[in-house]
A and B are shown apart, each in its own frame.
Chain A
Amino acid sequence: MIWILLVAHLVGVVAVLSLPNPRPAFAVALAAPLASAVWAASRLGGGETDTARLDWVEGLDLAISFRVGPLGALLAVLVSGIGVLIFIYGHGYFGGGDRRGFAATLLAFSGSMLGLVWADDVWTLFLFWEATSVTSFLLVGTKFTDSAAVTAARRALLVTVAGGLVLLAGLLVLVDVAGTATLSEMGPVTGDQATVAAVLILVGSFTKSAQLPFHVWLPGAMAAPTPVSAYLHSATMVKAGIVLIGVMHPVLGAVDIWSGLGVTVGLLTMFWGAIGALRHADAKLVLAWGTVSQLGLMTAMMSLGSGKAIFAAVSLVVAHAVFKAALFMAVGEIDIRTGSRDLRSLSGLRTSMPVAFWVMVFAGLSMAGVPPLLGFPAKEAAIEASLKESGASGDLILAGVTIGSVLTVAYTTRLVLALFSDKGGEPTEVAPFRWAAAAPSVLLSALGVVGYVLAPSVTDWVVPAAATLETTSAGYALLRWPGLDSTAFWISMGIVAGGAIIGAAAARHSSPPEPVGANNVDRLIDRTLDLAKWTTGRVQHGSLPIYLVVMALVASLAVIPFLGSINADQLHAWDRPLQAGMGTAVVAAAIAVAAIRSRIGAALALGVVGLGVSALFLIQGAPDLALTQLLVETVIVVGFVIGLGGLTTQFPANGFVWRSVRIGTAVLAGTAVTVALLASAEDTPSNREALTAAAVDEGGGNNLVNVILTDLRALDTLGEVVVLVVAAMGVLALSRADTARGGGAPLSDDVRKVRR
């Protein structure tokens, strides 16, 4: 079933792209997520676990492996369930037009995310992790004609892919120390190596989940169409980091630095994100910064690692996915129907857009953690988890969660009040109502209430999921009404009251904010590109002799490691005297090539070198090599005849310095090749006999060289010819491109003059 569902996503992508008519693109696209969501929902609360595994290279422990337990089912319901709603919403949001490419990309992203949350092998996880980075890049850059969207997409890609590389390093270290790549087989690890892995993996998850200082990509990603933002920043992309911290908890949770680093960064992010949300006047950016803040809380809870904290984190993941998707959808609806998201200018929307208003109110109350909405018991669980921590660090965590939550209530209050207040003057004009754009958000905000009412059922789904990460999570529950004697309840009420006052005050003052951090990342990227251009300009200057010198020098350096493996005992001057004579002739001809000023003379001398080498092969008893060498020389002579026709008859004179450099390079390269040959001169008769026997038996031929090429080592030959073809096609394409640009003339007159 796991395979069927994942392949269904792939098939869906192809199907959407090949639709003859763009109209049903979103309807076709939502089939695979719908099936996944239904299947996963049927498993909620149950204890069964499904696995799917495809071994690839067993010796290297490489496999594609999935495991769907309670956590996998819960996350799949969020990823695919909200995915279905996003496709419906997308249909309404775009309201027509050809969106096949967009729907296909969104489906590919959804499938990648599903693979990520189901992965049971670190490399499978990494594969899908990178797949979400790439597909989200395409999604954020949907409006690729808009330079802001392009910059934002580039920033998101570079930050998340850089984090992916860090994660890769962390996973390599982890697999080494844990002894397996299968997540469900990993036991807890500690020690220095585990610490290194823990830090690298945490950094990787911070980039994906937009934690400080990597949060800069997330607000910029708001340049994407709202369906993308609503999906990426509620149920999927940004949750990947949280999920990663969760699945790594049983393995790395015991490492000292794990919870300290995660909680510190998480709480700082929660604080900074909330400040950002209070400063912005674009409703979507407020939500984006709010997402950063919420992710901080989830990161902190997930890495805190106590049973209650993990339980709280999983509950928050569920609650956040539901209310944040609803909020984004409502803001997107306002955006497409009014053409604006500015808190300072929109006016009179409470009467003109009542549906969006009530969606925002309910989802907002859930975000603020107010009963009777699902956000309340989840937030309560987080506060209780903080209360359970002892000592000074426990107090700090409680203070951090409390302050962060106050600010959360504040920005939520400000958002709803400012968005729907009457600013005086004319009410904003509103386009007609679209069902497809409104219905999903209504459903999701209603789910906030339903989730609260059915809190015991939600508990039944969340607890087994959390218990797969931390067994002590099993005893907790989402409480609809914790009771008046609960400390957490009073803290919670204090948070709501304090936040509401701050938010109401902030709603009156909106100063246009400066984006912090994002510019620095863009500047860093631009600097890097400038540096790359500069370096390319220096290195690729276009002088063929200098390329040759550089290549020869670098290649010469490569033989240094082989200096030690020369076996001096094996060395002898010659096998047959004839070799000495022929060798001398070759060397003399080579010197002549360098000394002769006439081009055609040098070409002929080069021919002598080639023929001499060919004769040496023959003397050595290698007629095959000799034949090949002879043929190559023949063709090269013809090539020279053609090539020299367009050049002067004499080589240009060189200055003393340049001549010395070339002589030095030639001597060095010659020495290096000699060293390489001496070091590789290994003569093991047994090897040769085995090959000869194999050639006759398996290859059915007596010409050893040819049988090796076409049968025994045919894989090498296959690789070589394929590389050859690819390289040749590339050169052909490049040279044709040059011709095409030159308007048919291969070389301009100026270039010809320079060449002559």
Chain B
Amino acid sequence: MIRGRSPVVRSAIRAASPLALLVAAFLFFAGHNQPGGGFAAGLVIGAVVALRTVAGIGRPQDATRWFAIGTALVSVVALAPLLVGEPLLDQVIVSETVPLLGKVKSGSALVFDAGVTAIVVGLFVAVFDGLDADELGRDEVQV
């Protein structure tokens, strides 16, 4: 397998990872008005996880923690309105003028989306954990 054999691929993946995360962040924040969103951002981060798994370099490990963070975020956004007498999942939209960026409009849906992202990443971590243990780990033993 690729692990331990191709320094080129490993270096490339190492270099590309921060860029990919930047793309993910862009997609995440762009999502409200342009193509993108939390799910797409999660997929990009997932791709990073996948590539780093292939290359055998460090990557997020604990899928359960990602799931926990994601579920907590979506639950908070879903349930918080109930505490103040609003219906389930009611949105709060904030408009602020921020230095450098100008007028920024956002809402609690962004937090909800962050939860979705975390859950998608958790799913990828879980899947590639499994594949890693199942397939790559064996190669390591044989090499």
Contact = CB atoms under 8 A, between A and B. Distances in A.
Interface of A: 623-624, 626-628, 631-632, 634-635, 638-639, 641-643, 645-646, 698-703, 705-707, 709-711, 714-715, 717-718, 721-722, 724-725, 728-729, 731-732, 735, 739, 746-747, 752
Contact of B35 (A643, A700, A703, A746): A703
B25 interface: no
Contacts of B43: 628, 631-632, 634-635
A642 B131 contact: yes
Contacts of A627: 27, 35-36, 40
Contacts of A746: 133-134, 137-138
A702 B33 contact: yes
A701 to B, nearest CB: 4
Contact of B40 (A631, A721, A722, A725): A631
Interface in B79-115: 88-89, 91, 93, 105, 107, 109-110, 112-113, 115
Interface in B1-52: 1-2, 27, 31-40, 43-44, 46-47, 50-51
A278 B138 CA distance: 70
B89 A718 contact: yes
Given A706-B31, A729-B64, 16 more contacts: A627-B27, A627-B36, A628-B39, A638-B47, A646-B134, A646-B135, A699-B109, A700-B91, A709-B37, A710-B113, A711-B91, A714-B89, A714-B109, A715-B89, A718-B112, A739-B133
B123 A728 contact: yes
B134 A623 contact: no
A703 B116 contact: no
A728 B32 contact: no
Ranked 9 nearest A-B pairs via Cβ: A631-B43, A701-B32, A638-B50, A710-B109, A702-B33, A706-B37, A623-B35, A646-B135, A700-B93
Contacts of B2: 641
Contacts of A638: 47, 50-51, 53-54
Contacts of A710: 37-38, 109-110, 112-113, 116
A646 B138 contact: yes
A722 B119 CA distance: 9
27 contacts: A624-B37, A627-B27, A627-B36, A628-B40, A638-B47, A641-B54, A645-B136, A698-B91, A701-B33, A703-B34, A706-B32, A710-B113, A710-B116, A711-B91, A714-B78, A714-B89, A715-B88, A718-B112, A721-B116, A721-B119, A724-B123, A725-B122, A728-B67, A729-B64, A732-B63, A747-B134, A752-B138
Nearest to A735: B130
A703 B29 CA distance: 12
Nearest to A732: B126
Contacts of A747: 134, 138
A631 B78 contact: no
A729 B91 CA distance: 29
B42 to A, nearest CB: 9
Contacts of A631: 40, 43-44, 46-47
A715 B90 CA distance: 10
A394 to B, nearest CB: 61
Most buried by A among B27, B67, B136, B139: B67
A725 B38 contact: no
A642 B136 contact: yes
Instruction: Give the one of A623, A641, A710 with max B CB within 10 A.
Output: A710
A78 to B, nearest CB: 41
B128 to A, nearest CB: 7
B109 A725 contact: no
A705 B43 CA distance: 17
B143 to A, nearest CB: 12
B50 A635 contact: yes
Contacts of B89: 711, 714-715, 718
B53 A703 contact: no
A717 B31 CA distance: 15
B31 A718 contact: no
Contacts of A632: 43
A665 to B, nearest CB: 26
Contacts of A728: 63, 67, 122-123, 126
Nearest to A710: B109
A722 to B, nearest CB: 7
Contact of B46 (A623, A635, A701): A635
B23 to A, nearest CB: 10
Nearest to A715: B89
Contact of A725 (B71, B130, B132): B71
Contacts of A641: 2, 54
Given A725-B119, A746-B134, A731 B126 contact: yes
Nearest to A701: B32
A703 B67 contact: no
A188 B110 CA distance: 56
Contact of B1 (A645, A718, A732): A645
Contacts of B137: 746
B116 to A, nearest CB: 6
Nearest to A625: B35
Contacts of A701: 32-33, 109
Given A635-B50, A645-B1, A700 B107 contact: yes
A724 to B, nearest CB: 6
Given A638-B50, A711-B91, A729-B67, A718 B131 contact: no
A700 B71 contact: no
Contact of B67 (A699, A715, A725, A752): A725
A702 B35 CA distance: 10
Contact of B135 (A624, A643, A699, A705): A643
Given A635-B124, A709-B37, A699 B138 contact: no
A715 B1 CA distance: 43
Nearest to A721: B119
A534 B113 CA distance: 46
Given A632-B43, A700-B93, A715-B89, A707 B32 contact: yes
Contacts of A729: 64, 67
Nearest to B91: A711
Contacts of A724: 119, 123
A639 B63 CA distance: 17
B66 to A, nearest CB: 9
B57 interface: no
B137 to A, nearest CB: 7
Nearest to B44: A631
Contacts of A639: 50, 127-128, 131
Contacts of A714: 78, 89, 109, 112
Contacts of A700: 32, 91, 93, 105, 107
Contacts of B133: 739, 746
A641 B127 CA distance: 14
Contacts of B131: 639, 642-643
A136 to B, nearest CB: 35
A743 B133 CA distance: 14
B140 to A, nearest CB: 11
A703 B31 contact: yes
B91 A699 contact: yes
Contacts of A732: 63-64, 126
A246 to B, nearest CB: 41
Nearest to B127: A639
B115 A642 contact: no
A609 B112 CA distance: 32
A746 B139 CA distance: 13
A632 B127 CA distance: 14
B98 to A, nearest CB: 16
